Amino acid sequence: MNSPKISIIVPVYNVEKFLERCLNSLINQSLQNIEIICVNDGSKDSSPKILEDFARKDKRIIVINQENKGLSAARNRGLEKVSGEYIGFVDSDDWVDLDFFEKLYNAAKNSDCDMAASGMIRLKKFDKKFHLKFEKEIITDNPNLKFELCDVPDMSYLCNKIYRKEFWMRNNFQFEEGIIYEDVILFPQILFYSNKLVTVPDTYYYYWRHSNTLVRNKSKKANKDSEYAHKKALEFIKEHNIDISSHEPVTKKYKFLGMTILKIRKKGNKQTTSLFNIIKW
């Protein structure tokens, strides 16, 4: 078999409720020539058994077991094993459209881009929200436009994209271990140093925000990590003269008898309208 077109790294830690959904979305991708590197980060539930069951049925799945070291360490361990032309990341409680990796791979190859980015949908129990949505394919090497399209640093997501392995390894990108908001630190660097970015419409990464999601934990550590990561990201952006002024939201409020009836919030090319702060579109 030829080398995989994409190596997909899936960190796994105590996600027995969601893991099958994630893996099913990967093994059923329309792009079949992939490898799926699952790093079991010391799970105590039935996640390891689920991984082994899937690996027995699908030889594209590689399972790596390690003691619990955190998400960044699991991703870094997976990076040691990649053999694909491009690299992707999927968190084990999330999933992707079945044409996700085929569309991103074809777009990146056809435009000779180090990166391809899709839209992202955040899902909660009773809520669905587009975090990123691309209406058309855009190819750019302009740093400011790359940051605007990906809405960085606010939406510094790694998982709704693929990255050329040669580009990643040449720059020796690594996740900082021991913190929660590792994407916020690393992604601006990846975006800046990439030769070009291509946006890919009509396929999505689904981010499932459940009660155990790390970033929802409002602990002192989470707050400290968030402050640290955003400070590092903004320092990098300032140091490299990236203009993110267009990312600042502008809000207009229309009131009647002192009460806000209609609110329109614009940020770059995106607009959100809300009526009585209840109905949003």
Predicted local confidence at residue 245, as pLDDT: 82
- Sign of the dihedral through C-alpha 30, 136, 245, 215: negative
Kindly give, in sequence order, each residue whose CB lies less than 8 Å from that of residue 30, ignoring residues fewer than 6 positions away: 98, 99, 101, 102
In this prediction, residue 79 has a pLDDT band, given cuts at 50, 70 and 90, of: very high
Neighbours of 48 (CB within 10 A): 18
Class assignment of domain 6-245? alpha beta
Least confident of 75-79, 93-97, 199-203, 264-268: 264-268
Predicted local confidence at residue 43, as pLDDT: 98
Helix (H), strand (E) at residue 222: helix 220-239
Cα separation, 86 vs 161, in Å, equals: 10
The amino acid that residue 230 corresponds to is: H
In this prediction, residue 216 has a pLDDT band, given cuts at 50, 70 and 90, of: very low
Q: pLDDT tens digits, residue range 32-57? A: 999 999 999 999 999 999 999 999 99
Q: pLDDT tens digits, residue range 130-178? A: 889 999 999 999 999 999 999 999 999 999 999 999 999 999 999 999 9
**pTM for the predicted model, two decimal places:** 0.86
| Separation of CA 107 from chain center | 17
Token pair 């968190």 in the structure block, residue: 91
Q: Where in the chain is the domain with CATH 3.90.550.10?
A: 6-245
Cα separation, 263 vs 255, in Å, equals: 9
Predicted local confidence at residue 215, as pLDDT: 45
Cα separation, 138 vs 118, in Å, equals: 11
Token pair 């959904």 in the structure block, residue: 21
